[in-house]
Amino acid sequence: MPGADVVVVGAGLSGLTAALAAADSGARVQVLARGNAGTHWGSGGIDIAAPSGAATPRAGLEALAAVPGHPYAALSGEVEPALNWIRGILAAEGLTFEGTLDSPLQPAPTSIGGTRPVAILPTAQAAGARPWVSGERLIVCGVAGFKDFWPDAIAASLSRPGVWGGGSRPDGVVAVSVELPGLAARHNLSAVELARRFDDKAWRADAIERIATAVEGAAAGHAPGQGPGRVALPAILGLNDHPAIFDELRRRLPLEPFELPLVPPSVPGMRLYFALRAALIRRGGRVRIGEMIDHVECDGARVTAVATAAAARTSTVRTGALILATGGIAGGGIVADDAGHLEEVVLGLPVEAPPVEAWLSADAFDPEGHPLESAGIRTDADLRPVDRSGKPIYSNARVVGSLLAGGRLRDRCRDGVAVASGRRAAR
């Protein structure tokens, strides 16, 4: 029977952070996951906290730490060191970020023509969040035939002053579309397919020239006397060779480029996953995707092994500790039955949630969010799951990330909770 010092269930940001922290301590680590997690759905940035009224992530973090029951009430002191640590690991893998806890939360444009408050972004997205100066224009450059990015609609929406929430905005927004090589006969192009094409040096050289020509033509059409600007592109600039691709594009274009994240699967999110996975493997860790947890073996209050379902048998890993990073309701770590009971799917832990009659909101777009956002597992300060009386249920199990009770989507704190709880659990 194979063994590990730590088994992590879940391969999202919190699970891979926990696995990396455990591996850094010298532990033998295995990550087991049913499938790809939140990284593939997110923007690729690192959201620490952006509750209403917060000017910076640090201010948002302090506000949320004062909310009873919020994960930051116990984790706020872990966020900054965990963030700096994980950014160092990512930079070593070639994925760099800009912004800090004290950077202003700025409205960055999105691929649906709106804006979102951000501060810590991958380098390829960072220019989109910088304040706009007088005379700057924005060129939205799309790819002909790519249906997940509509430059005309995006530009029309971003031309409305109200979209920018009263903050600085470009003086003009225009759209342009470019035919990329060899794609004229293709239908249903995906962001992942385009990103892989950009990884081909010969193909991308031609593609970058075509993009530059289109952008130069759009820039030349502006009124004389207008200042420089920026170019928004769909987030398709490579998966494996992204830093080199972005550098080539930045040197070739007449205006500063930045990427706009798209609908899932997210290419920037995949880059984040690949970088974390590569860093873990370098440390001797293993990542097994496509593993359905069949059952967990225990000796009293200690988890001793995790079994996954195989074709005709189960595969069992003996372990000294278990970290649950299954993502809560959104990740399938918590499910509901027809009677309205919520269940944690790996250990059967008690779920803290609103009563079933409060699960649904009369307003689907209520600014206060969905009542079930805060559902999750309650833990002690060491992130051990506890029962209704507050007593730890398992001595060597930890709960991290979105599986923790008390978090809220509208506060944009998912990533900060993930890295802080993942690092604390492993340590």
Kindly write down the DSSP assignment for every residue of 313-382, as one continuous string: SEEEEEES-EEE---HHHHTSEEE-TTS-EEETTT----B---GGGSS-S-TT-TT--GGGG-BB-B-TT
Residue ranges making up the domain that contains 185: 111-260
Distance between CA atoms of residues 4 and 352, nearest Å: 30
- Asked if residue 265 belongs to a domain, the reply is no
Helix (H, G, I), strand (E, B) or coil at 107: strand
The answer to whether residues 275 and 246 belong to one domain is: no
- Asked if residue 159 belongs to a domain, the reply is yes
Domain boundary among 260, 281, 301: 260
The answer to whether residues 252 and 277 belong to one domain is: no
Alpha helix (H) residue ranges in 33-189? 57-65, 72-92, 123-126, 151-158
Distance between CA atoms of residues 28 and 7, nearest Å: 9
The answer to whether residues 420 and 283 belong to one domain is: yes
Q: Is 245 left (phi over 0), alpha (psi -120 to 50) or beta?
A: alpha
The answer, yes or no, to whether the previous bond of 51 is cis (omega within 30 of 0) is no
Distance between CA atoms of residues 12 and 22, nearest Å: 15
* pLDDT for 364: 78
CATH at residue 375: 3.50.50.60
Cα separation of the two ends of the chain: 26
- Asked if residue 103 belongs to a domain, the reply is no
| DSSP string for residues in 241-276 | SHHHHHHHHHHHSSSEEEEE--SSSPHHHHHHHHHH
The helix (H) or strand (E) run that includes residue 28 is: none
- Asked if residue 325 belongs to a domain, the reply is yes
The answer to whether residues 129 and 239 belong to one domain is: yes
Helix (H, G, I), strand (E, B) or coil at 104: coil
- Asked if residue 74 belongs to a domain, the reply is yes
**Residues 6 or more apart in contact with residue 167 via CB below 8 angstroms:** 106, 107, 131
* pLDDT for 224: 40
Number of neighbouring beta carbons within 10 Å of residue 17: 31
How far apart, in Å, are the Cα atoms of 135 and each of 114, 214, 300? Answer: 21, 21, 68
Distance between CA atoms of residues 231 and 250, nearest Å: 10
- Asked if residue 361 belongs to a domain, the reply is yes
- Asked if residue 101 belongs to a domain, the reply is no
The answer to whether residues 30 and 122 belong to one domain is: no
Domain boundary among 260, 279, 299: 260
Distance between CA atoms of residues 177 and 43, nearest Å: 23
| DSSP string for residues in 196-213 | HHHTSHHHHHHHHHHHHH
Helix (H, G, I), strand (E, B) or coil at 277: helix
* pLDDT for 331: 86
Domain boundary among 200, 232, 260: 260
**Residues 6 or more apart in contact with residue 138 via CB below 8 angstroms:** 109, 155, 158, 170, 172, 173, 174, 229, 230, 231, 232
The answer to whether residues 275 and 406 belong to one domain is: yes
The count of structural domains within the chain is 2
The answer to whether residues 233 and 307 belong to one domain is: no
**Residues 6 or more apart in contact with residue 343 via CB below 8 angstroms:** 334, 335, 336, 337, 351
* pLDDT for 223: 46
Contact criterion met (CB below 8 Å) for 32 and 316: no
The answer to whether residues 248 and 275 belong to one domain is: no
- Asked if residue 118 belongs to a domain, the reply is yes
The answer to whether residues 353 and 388 belong to one domain is: yes
Contact criterion met (CB below 8 Å) for 41 and 292: no
Contact criterion met (CB below 8 Å) for 383 and 365: no
Q: pLDDT tens track of the chain, all 427 residues?
A: 578 999 999 999 999 999 999 999 999 999 999 988 889 999 999 999 999 999 999 999 999 999 999 999 999 999 999 999 999 999 999 999 999 999 999 999 999 999 999 999 999 999 999 999 998 999 999 999 999 999 999 999 999 999 998 889 999 999 999 999 999 877 789 999 999 999 999 999 999 999 999 999 988 765 444 458 999 999 999 999 999 999 999 999 999 999 999 999 999 999 999 999 999 999 999 999 998 999 999 999 999 999 998 777 889 999 999 999 999 888 889 998 887 789 999 999 999 998 888 887 788 778 777 888 889 999 999 999 999 999 999 999 999 999 999 988 889 999 999 999 999 999 8
pTM of the model: 0.95
The answer to whether residues 153 and 292 belong to one domain is: no
The answer to whether residues 337 and 193 belong to one domain is: no
The answer to whether residues 226 and 316 belong to one domain is: no
